[in-house]
Structure 1
Amino acid sequence: MQTVAEVGTIIEVGMADAKVSKAPIKLITRALGSCVGVVIYDSARKTGAMAHSMLPDIDKARIKSNPSRFVNSAINNIVSELEKSGSHRSRLAAKLFGGAQMFSFITPESTLNIGQKNVQMAHEILEQLGIKIIAEETGGTFGRTITLDLETGKVLVDTVSWGSKEV
């Protein structure tokens, strides 16, 4: 994971990626399907992070070379980076996005429902870290693009299904 400090407008967070930055930067990630997008924000410092993770648990993975690929390690890493940059955990708030069921042959009870497992893992890790989830836009059967405005902490959610809304 890289800490982003350059002044610019929008910085892309790719799949299996995570970034930490501060205002006036905006962080964007595209094509959140079953992947989960985790946004963590410190309103006092106008500092935040975004992760786009594909799988729930690094501990169950054979290949662990990219911690941002996994929800649990990505969240732990971005919280650690935010704390290193001066944020206090007590000021951090989280928002969750994605976790869709992208394939119609998968039932909600299916062991293949990776989206649901990703969201569940995000809830578990954030609870363990004592970080409150203040907004969530997860599930469904459609992809999302999210943009975090580090000036305000607001997230713009774009979907093909129902357009745009601010969370």
Structure 2
Amino acid sequence: MQIYTTDTSQSTPARIKVGIADFAVGTDGAVLTTSGLGSCIGVILYDADAAIAGLAHAMLPTSDGDATPAKFADTGIELLLSEMESSGADTSNVTAKLAGGSTMFDFASTDDGKSIGDRNVDAARQTLSEFGIDIVAEDVGGSHGRSLELDGETGTLTVRSAKTGTYEL
């Protein structure tokens, strides 16, 4: 049985979809989502004290001067941090979670034998280290895609994959 009411005193948090080569910052318990993470890297940043959450969906490891900074792990993280600070986050309180970086195809994309997914994970880890941000959880690698849902109120990241099921980080 469904109950219908006109009581609008309860508000639901915003739901923000993050596309490929995109990012978003959420406040007030917003839920941030992205799907289609194969070799792409999902970078989740969260300031628990300020309840400010950020999510970037980067395609490539390092920028080549492209005008789309969110397309790259290095410049995407820098941009995401900047936007979170503008919303009131304190970078000394920010922690990170990573997901994605799969090897979706059976060939190496560089002379060192690393796939684009491996290179995306390496670039994200390196950039976060440069900013002094700790990675508190990750689900990276493998050969499967992922979809993410970040609860901006709690910082809980739900990872969904057809191959490995649904779990929380």
TM-score with structure 1 setting the length: 0.89
In structure 2, C-alpha distance between the alignment counterparts of 1:95 and 1:46, rounded to whole Å: 15
Q: Which moved more, 1:100-109 or 1:30-39?
A: 100-109
CA RMSD of aligned residues (A): 1.7
CA contact (8 A) 2:109 2:116 kept: no
Specify the code of the residue in structure 1 equivalent to 2:147: T
Offset at residue 8 of structure 1 (A): 4.4
The one-letter amino acid paired with 2:61 is P
> Does residue 14 of the first structure (1) align with residue 19 of the second (2)?
yes
Kindly provide the CA deviation profile for residues 115-142 of structure 1, in whole angstroms up to 9, marking residues without a partner as x. 0000000111100100000001000000
How many residues in Structure 1 have an aligned counterpart in Structure 2? 157
Give the AA of the match of 2:162: V
Equivalent in the alignment of 1:85:
87
Aligned partner of 2:57 in structure 1 is 52
CA contact (8 A) 1:26 1:147 kept: yes
The structure number with the bigger radius of gyration is 2
Q: Which residue of 1 aligns with 2:9?
A: none
User: What TM-score does the superposition give when structure 2 sets the normalisation length?
Assistant: 0.88
Superimposed CA distance per residue, residues 63-82 of structure 1 (whole angstroms, 9 cap, x where no aligned partner): 61211000000000111111
Matched with 1:110 is: 113
The Cα shift of 1:88 comes to: 1.1
Q: State the Cα distance separating 1:105 from its structure 2 match.
A: 3.6
Out of 93, 96, 102, which is 2:98 matched to?
96
Q: Any gaps of 5 or more consecutive residues in structure 1?
A: 1-6
User: Aligned AA for 1:83?
Assistant: E
The aligned counterpart of 2:68 is 66
Deviation of 1:107 after TM superposition, in Å, equals 8.8
Structure 2, unmatched stretches of 5+, are 1-11
The amino acid of 2:35's aligned partner reads: R
CA distance in 2, matches of 1:23, 1:8: 7
Question: Contact 1:100–1:139 (CA<8 Å) still a contact in 2?
Answer: yes
Which of 22, 25, 43 in structure 2 is aligned with 1:38?
43
Alpha-carbon contact 1:17-1:52 (below 8 Å) kept:
yes
